[in-house]
Structure 1
Amino acid sequence: MSRAGGQDGSSVSDEEWERFLRESVAGTADAPVEPSARARAVQRRLAEHPEQQEGWRTRTPARPRRRTGRYVTGLVAALALLAVAVFPHRVAGWFGGDAGQADKPLAAETERPGEAPGAEPALRATLAEPFRGSPAAHWADGAAGITVPRAEATGWMDAAQVARALRRSKEFMVDSGLDPRVLRGERPTKAIALLNPHQRDVQEYLRAALSSSAPTPETDPLLLFSRFRPEQARLVGDVVKTRGRLTYREGERGAVEVTADVTFVYPVTPATGDSGPDGEVIRTIVRREVVMSWDDPAKVITEPDTLSLVSYTLDMTNGGCSAPTGYFVPPFGAADEQRVDASHRIDPYDRSKPVARSGGTTSKNGGCTTATRS
């Protein structure tokens, strides 16, 4: 006889009914439990909105606040203060200073700047960092610092000829101001080869300037060529910093007249003795303005690929204050003993003004021109 019937009308045996009663009384881990009305409601809501996974009375506890960030910030600040105290010039470089010469060069100069470069940290030049504390630390190396403009047809030349004249004009500035042999006092053969051999006054100047042991201010080879006595001074490393540009226009008789305005910064140290890692370094700073004429051979006697000089002048700092010797004479060990003219001060890095026509080496009373920085 059946004791109970299922919802589908099926019967349950006596043995199964007795087992159910025993398990109901004793309880089992996997015994089914009828959900309550509230549980059914929650189950129905979750089935309708499966994206809601939290219970209706549940909440996500707030994460405990960690103090690690505060400790890390304090540690970084302490390390920064220590770096400033131990390596001040390095830290200054991180914010636009010298940075051990690791900064990228300035953009090329394409026109006369409106003002002088900003002040740099007052740091002494060293053998390892010869441009430290100088605006030149951000300048390009060697020939890369001389900007050549786009060529256009001018005077008797078409655009291609103007481009060649500009290229050769830059070569003259490089050969006269950057050639290592010329810097060691040797004859500037390559630069001379670019000069018109029929320009009589220039040829006379060259003969007097390069053969005399006692040049005059008018025959000083430094007016065109950068030279140091190898027994007195030597360059620190093989880098000379430069900044400048070429410009051109139509000159007399249809010539193409090219003007070069370039500043050279030569870091030098005494040639004799072991200077050691803290040896003296002086920066000789020279700004040259050379005007070159590429003449029409139909109107002026000249040779192919040679230029005629119209004018040449320079400003010079830390290159000597006595009578011309034909060489730059850096004031090693005597920088504080030079006579200065307080009425004639010059910032050798200021390219916003034209080059002085006095030569820039000495003042009228025989003392050195006062440089505001080097």
Structure 2
Amino acid sequence: MGKESSSIPDEEWERFLRDAGAGAAEAPQEPSARARMVTRRLREEPEPPRGWRIHEPPRQRRGKGRYAVGLVAVVVCLLAVVLAPGPVAGWFGGEDDTGSSSAAVREGPGGSAAGGSQDAVPTVEEPFRGSPAAGWEDGRAGIGLPEARATGWMDKGQVADALDRTLDFLAASSLDAGVLAGQRPDGAIALVNPHQEDVRDYVKAAFGSPSEENDPLLLFSRFDASEVRPAGDVVKTRGKVTYREGKRGALEVTADVTYVYALVRADGESDEVARTVVRRETVMSWDDPEKVITEPGTFSLVSYAADIANGGCDNHTGYFSPEFVAERTAGGSGEGPEVDPYDRDVPMEERMRQGDATECGRAGRL
């Protein structure tokens, strides 16, 4: 079978599926990440919801689905609630929604949104005080990896290596101290298949001139060091990695992780702590080099989605912009429903559909 790194039109790929079902002798070359995701949607959702459309540009509204470089990319933003945080209804999803995954992993102790007190005020010494994340693990330790077993073109050892590299990508994109301070995430980018033209275009645009369509925050966590700095050296995490056999025997890995960042003002004039909560679902394909043009140790991006609380709504600067009490009071409380950024009981795809129907929402607690 031939190899190809450029995208195949949706119509051609759909025609191939029909021909393959009828016993056609020849197959097209490997599609891009966009074509693979369109195929999966056509198979699983004949009538996809508005938030997952590819061809039509999104409506100009806050909290809508966003699409970049041929991949399916979705983001929902929430403002911080104006008053003291308190418990609210569910928001995030934690169960695997990738179908027949070969392994499932329990998330950390304490349940999806357990812990935290609405009356506890965070301090620089205890920046996660009053938050469910206070009982979560730190950094990599909060991301559960499944047991490896032979899947698709990979043997058990290769699957284990791919899972480790997946964790490396998550750390390099969302936990690295330099990246959090605004640096370019070169370590994370190096793990992505360099032959994916749509991803190359996205990265170039996202870090050259970030915009609504090319937003680096969909995949990478970055703050403006001139505005805020970490309140300590800990990022709290909860999430898991699952996998299954994907197209052409590839290992398809899904990472669903919530990251909690504690920040203080960079000027040091206040010791108030603000928190930004980001949940990302990233689907990546570890492709068979005999069937897809790739480089050893790299994966192809299939899709990515993000829920962001207190990172700045309608923010296209390339940096999260957390609000402190004064900004939240002046900026209003948002137009959408109040939701809980710590709740992982709603599947990510369902959350994305909900977010497409609302304006900028409000985080009930941070």
TM over 0.5: yes
Aligned to 1:340: 333
Deviations 1:278-303 (A, max 9, x none): x1100100001000100001111000
Q: Does 1:303 pair with 2:299?
A: no
State the alpha-carbon separation in 2 of the partners of residues 344 and 273 from structure 1: 33
| Equivalent position SS for 1:335 | helix
Residue 200 (structure 1) aligned with residue 231 (structure 2): no
Residue of structure 2 in register with 1:158 after alignment? 155
User: Gapped runs of 5+ residues in structure 2?
Assistant: 1-103
Aligned match for 1:223, one of 210, 218, 222: 218
Residues 252 and 285 in structure 2, CA contact (< 8 A), matched pair in contact too = yes
The CA distance in 2 between the partners of 1:329 and 1:346, in whole Å, is 19
* CA distance, structure 1, for counterparts of residue 127 and residue 114 of structure 2: 19
Match for residue 274 of structure 2? 282
Aligned to 2:133: 136
Conservation of the 8 A alpha-carbon contact between 2:336 and 2:358: no
- Greater relative contact order structure (CA < 8 Å, 6+ sep): 2
**Residues 108, 136 of structure 2: 8 Å contact kept:** no
Is the aligned partner of 1:263 residue 2:250?
Answer: no
Aligned counterpart, 2:96: none
- Whether 2:103 is the aligned partner of 1:124: answer no
Which residues of 2 match residues 72-87 of structure 1 at below 5 A? none
Q: Which amino acid aligns with 2:152?
A: G
Paired position in structure 1 for 2:164: 167
Number of equivalences: 259
Which residue type is aligned with residue 303 of structure 2?
A: S
Gaps of 5+ in 1: 1-107
Instruction: Give yes or no for contact 2:105–2:145 (8 Å, CA) kept in 1.
Output: no
**Per-residue displacement from partner, 1:26-52 (whole Å, max 9, x unpaired)?**
xxxxxxxxxxxxxxxxxxxxxxxxxxx
Encode CA deviations 1:101-141: one digit per residue, 9 max, x unaligned: xxxxxxx9616999742353221111111000011011111
CA separation in 2, counterparts of 1:206 and 1:192? 8
Partner deviation per Cα, 1:194-237 (whole Å, 9 max, x = no partner):
0000011111000000111xx22220000010000000010001
- Does the Cα contact within 8 Å between 1:315 and 1:359 map onto a contact in 2? no
Residues 265, 283 of structure 1: 8 Å contact kept = yes
Q: Take 1:112 and 1:300, find their aligned partners in 2: how far apart are those partners?
A: 36
SS at 2:166's partner residue?
Answer: helix
**TM-superposed deviation, 1:347:** 0.9
Q: 1:113 to 1:129 in 2, by over 3 A?
A: closer
CA gap 1:359/1:174 in 2 versus in 1, 3 angstroms: farther
Q: For 2:179, which of 159, 178, 182 is the aligned residue?
A: 182
2:234 is the counterpart of 1:239: yes
State the one-letter code of the partner of 2:269: D
CA distance in 1, matches of 2:223, 2:353: 21
Structure 1 stretch displaced more, 328-337 or 279-288: 328-337
Distance 2:226 2:277 in 1: 20
The 1:229/1:363 distance shift into structure 2, 3 A limit, reads farther
SS at match of 2:154: coil
SS in 2 for 1:310: strand
Q: Pick from 301, 307, 310: which aligns with 1:315?
A: 307
> Structure 2: which amino acid aligns with 1:110?
R
Partners of 1:109 and 1:243 within 8 A in 2: no
Give 1:357 shift: 2.7
- Cα distance, 1:346 vs structure 2: 2.0
Change (3 A) 1:254 1:109: closer
Q: Deviations over 1:67-93 (max 9, x none)?
A: xxxxxxxxxxxxxxxxxxxxxxxxxxx
Would the aligned equivalents of 1:115 and 1:351 in 2 still touch at CA under 8 Å?
Answer: no
Equivalent residue of 1:309, what SS? Answer: strand
Q: By how many angstroms is 1:308 displaced?
A: 0.3
Structure 1 residue 143: deviation in Å? 0.8
Corresponding residue to 1:253 among 248, 257, 273? 248
Q: What residue identity is the alignment partner of 2:200?
A: Q
Superposed displacement of residue 147, structure 1:
0.7
SS in 2 for 1:248: strand
Residue 353 (structure 1) aligns with:
346
Q: Give the CA deviation at 1:328.
A: 0.3
Alignment match, 1:371:
363
Question: CA 1:109/1:340 → structure 2, altered by over 3 Å: closer, same or farther?
Answer: farther
- Cα separation, 2, equivalents of 1:343 and 1:158: 47
1:180-202 deviation digits (Å, cap 9, x = unpaired)? 01001111010011000001111
Query: Residue in 2 aligned with 1:294?
Result: 286
TM-score by length of 1: 0.65
